[in-house]
Structure 1
């Protein structure tokens, strides 16, 4: 697991703009994918590695950009609300983590 703390400010900014309604989901995903491309360029991407997020201390999930896109695509679905609350909690507590690794538990 490779933590990428230098990308936390970029992710925080994008998530905050999304939660505040200043950007839509497509723009959020675009910004996160651009960040992932930067990480891949720096880390010389290996097969199966991708950016994922841990939103708050004790968060048991490895939430990928694809997970975010899927979960937030239907704002009326309970998972969308749960994810938004988790993101907001992590931002408020300043616990957001950005990682780049494969998704197997290490």
Structure 2
């Protein structure tokens, strides 16, 4: 689902706010599912979050908040670098989402 969202964002089918909102919804759903599985939803919500590895060399990944921050100003070099990274990650099938 994240790959599809990033693809729609690159194709300008959705804007930055929609991308971030849907990624946050995904994260909340995973937190709720993990809370149900482990029986302590509050603890899971505070410790687990999505980390999005944009491309193979990206060992740490990015949080949703980091992506949102970097994409605030499309003219800023950080936004341009991230957009190229997303395009490369999608083209090379390297974009991954981790919940940790």
- What interval of TM-score do these two structures reach, taking the shorter chain for normalisation? 0.7 to 0.9
* Structure 1: stretches of 5+ with no match in the other structure: 1-9, 102-106
- SS of the equivalent of 1:63 reads coil
Q: Which has the larger radius of gyration?
A: 2
- The residue correspondences of 1:61-80 to structure 2 (distance < 5 A) are 61-80=60-79
User: Partner of 1:23 in structure 2?
Assistant: 14
Which structure features the higher share of strand residues?
1
Q: CA deviation at 1:46?
A: 4.6
**What is the Cα-based RMSD across aligned positions, in Å?**
1.1
Q: Is the 8 Å Cα contact of residues 24 and 64 (structure 2) preserved in structure 1?
A: yes
Partners in 2 of 1:46 and 1:24 — Cα distance? 27
Partners in 2 of 1:46 and 1:23 — Cα distance? 27
Partners in 1 of 2:18 and 2:45 — Cα distance? 26
Number of corresponding residues: 92
- SS of the equivalent of 1:22 reads coil
User: Partner of 1:34 in structure 2?
Assistant: 25
Partners in 2 of 1:69 and 1:100 — Cα distance? 18
* Structure 2: stretches of 5+ with no match in the other structure: 36-43
Larger RCO (CA under 8 A, 6+ residues apart): 1
Q: Is the 8 Å Cα contact of residues 54 and 61 (structure 2) preserved in structure 1?
A: no
